[in-house]
Amino acid sequence: MSSPSAPLPAVEIRKLVARGFSEMYGRELPEYNRFIVPVKASNLEQLERRPDPHVSREALMEEKHGAIRVPGAHEMRIVTRIFAVMGMVPVEFYDMTILGEKSLPMIATAFRPTDRSVEESAFRMFCSMLHIDSIPPQLREEVLAELEKNRRLYPKFSPELLTMLDRAEHDGGLDADDARKFAASVVDALSMHKDKVVNFALYAKLRRISDPLADIVLESPVLNHLTPRALDIEDAVDQLNAAGIPMQTVIQGPPIREDGVQVQLNQIARIAAGEDVFVTLDPAVLAAFERDPASIARLKNDAPRLELQKGEKVADYMARIEAALATHPIVIIQHKARFGEIEARGVALTREGEASYNAYGIESEADPAAKKTKVEKFNQKYPKTDRQLHDAGWAYYTYQATDSGRSRREHGAARRADLNALLDAGDVALVPQTYHDFLPFSAAAIFRANLTEGSQGIGGAGQDASENRWLLEKAMGKTIADRHDLHRHDREESLRRVCAELNLLPPD
């Protein structure tokens, strides 16, 4: 009797799923394959100009994060289990309902690795859950009924996938064969099956509020974007625009400093292209599709296509579609939900560094002139070098012993380490801790920049953040980790390793 195969490391399963997502997304949105070409070209050029020992060429070419939206607690619990098999846990809470005019009806977290495997595969997943209380009261019952119907008629998670989740949790992982099947099942679960016919009456109400909200009457959860890394995000944007790929006009996140260390996260998205969706107002068509999708093939083939015109308001577009549905049982429309995005990550700020940056009010400033003044002040006053940020206690670093430090390793009784003296002498080097998380204002701004013109939004009507965090943790069955705790742990562990290597006692 043969012994069972050893479990495949979670990082290898993460790579399998991430590569599967990339292939699937390129099939579903062929323009995405075109999108990543200029980004990769820019990265190779930057790596040639400024080689970086901390950057792996292979890892550089892999997408750094994806994003999904889930309709409720049932789906949130399952995706939490899926990401656990991939070695990813929920880190940080993002309340998208309390961002003023940028508010969206979602509460979110990001699943990511928190161990050293992040250096091998840093893929993470931003996962937002519909916040039902942020939907206008007159729509809630209708939305809940639609979600239940979708769960019944269009289940996203196959019995095979759920069985593999049970096995992975019982056995502490999956062997190589099951891991490949698991990756394929996860990719299939988060793909979009584009043949569905949607109830336009509800769709139109929700899309007038926001495009992401209208996703709930399509397929949910579904992978709605993937994000490659850009070493120089401004150069990558230039190359994308030159290739005829329209990008948003504003790079989100802290100002990019040519003479200073980049902090936190910068990201920018491609302007979302519309995807074809079949809609109807006829209950008989919906019923026929639910009984036998093939029975309405002719109606779908004969359906007219109504494209969203540049600058067209969402109310006008919805009115055009409704008029077309008066004479056609099915109409093909453009739904804007999925897009390409690029990101550049800098050093992670401490609470103090973050508070100091936030005090400039740059990301929440809407007036261009006032924002320019705030950016100039930030560029003048905020620490520019790694050592300045480290000494101010404003950014997270780990420590590495250098060759000179190892050559001067003392023998005999260990003395107390003087960290500043070791850094001054070059015996210990600073290694920036990469910011692996997200910025709520940036994420909301990217989502909102891809909304159809004239979307109403939800205002700032959410519960308080602590209650919303509890709702999300209850749905997941897990506590959300604090990124600062993770960064401090990595810093302290690295300092212990350096002191052991140089025969020193940790600083007081």
The token pair that represents 428 in the structure block: 């210990």
| The token pair that represents 355 in the structure block | 């508070």
Q: Supply the pLDDT for residue 2.
A: 40
Over residues 279-308, the pLDDT tens digits come to 999 999 999 999 999 999 999 999 999 998
C-alpha span between 372 and 361 (Å, rounded): 11
Span 131-161, pLDDT tens digits = 999 888 889 999 999 999 989 888 899 999 9
| pLDDT higher than threshold 60 for residue 505 | yes
The pLDDT of residue 471 is above 70 = yes
What is the helix (H) or strand (E) element at residue 125, kind and residue range? strand 124-130
Question: Which residue, among 231, 236, 330, 353, has the nearest Cα to 276 in the 3D structure?
Answer: 330
Residue 409 pLDDT greater than 80, yes or no: yes
User: Which is it for strands 305-306 and 428-432: parallel, antiparallel or unpaired?
Assistant: unpaired
What's the confidence (pLDDT) of residue 296? 95
Distance between CA 133 and CA 16 in Å, rounded?
Answer: 37
pLDDT, average across residues 489-495: 96
Q: How many CA atoms lie within 13 A of 45 on its CB side?
A: 12
The phi and psi torsions of 270 (rounded to 5 degrees) equal -70, 145
pLDDT digit string, tens, across residues 363-396 = 878 898 999 999 999 999 999 999 999 999 999 9
In terms of DSSP H, where are the helices of 56-199?
A: 57-60, 73-85, 137-153, 159-171, 176-189
Q: Is the pLDDT of residue 402 over 80?
A: yes
The CA-CA-CA angle for residues 39, 270, 222, to 5°, reads 105
Most confident of 48-52, 141-145, 243-247, 481-485: 481-485
Q: CB-based burial of residue 2 (10 Å sphere; 0-12 exposed, 13-18 middle, 19+ buried)? A: exposed
CB 331 within 8 A of CB 303: yes
Alpha helices in 359-504 (DSSP H): 368-381, 386-392, 403-407, 419-425, 440-449, 465-476, 483-501
Mean pLDDT for 2-13 is: 81
Amino acid at 270: R
Q: Tell me: the pLDDT tens digits for 95-111? A: 988 877 667 888 999 99
CA dist., res. 298 & res. 340, Å (int) = 33
Measured CA to CA, the distance from residue 246 to residue 164 in angstroms comes to 41
The phi and psi torsions of 432 (rounded to 5 degrees) equal -60, 135
Q: What pLDDT score does 458 carry?
A: 66
Q: Which of 400, 392, 386, 391 is nearest to 347 (CA)?
A: 386
Name residue 268's beta-bridge partners.
342
Distances in whole angstroms, Cα of residue 422 to Cα of each of 415, 417, 427: 13, 8, 5
Topology adopted by domain 10-273+336-348+433-477: 2,3-Dihydroxybiphenyl 1,2-Dioxygenase; domain 1 (3.10.180)
Structure tokens at 258: 């040519």
Query: Which helix H or strand E contains 227, and what residues bound it?
Result: strand 223-227
Per-residue model confidence as pLDDT tens digits over 29-55:
888 889 999 999 999 999 888 887 777
State how far the Cα of 5 lies from the Cα of 15, in Å rounded to an integer.
19
Model confidence at 342, in pLDDT bands (50, 70, 90)?
A: very high
- 255: pLDDT strictly greater than 80: yes
- pLDDT tens figures, 50-76: 887 777 777 777 888 999 999 999 999
Residue 157, phi then psi, degrees to nearest 5: -110, 115
3-state class (DSSP) for residue 110 = strand
Q: pLDDT value at position 154? A: 86
Average pLDDT over residues 200-216: 88
Q: What is the pLDDT of residue 3?
A: 45
Amino acid (1-letter code) at residue 410: E
Region 172-191: what's the mean pLDDT? Answer: 95
Structural domain boundaries in the chain = 10-273+336-348+433-477, 349-384, 397-430+493-505
Distance CA 432, CA 428 (A): 13
CA separation for the pair 123, 227 (Å, rounded)? 10
Cα–Cα distance for residue pair 495/501, rounded to 1 Å: 10
State how far the Cα of 81 lies from the Cα of 73, in Å rounded to an integer.
12
pLDDT tens-digit map of 417-458: 899 999 999 999 999 999 999 887 666 666 655 556 656 666
* pLDDT, the chain, mean: 89
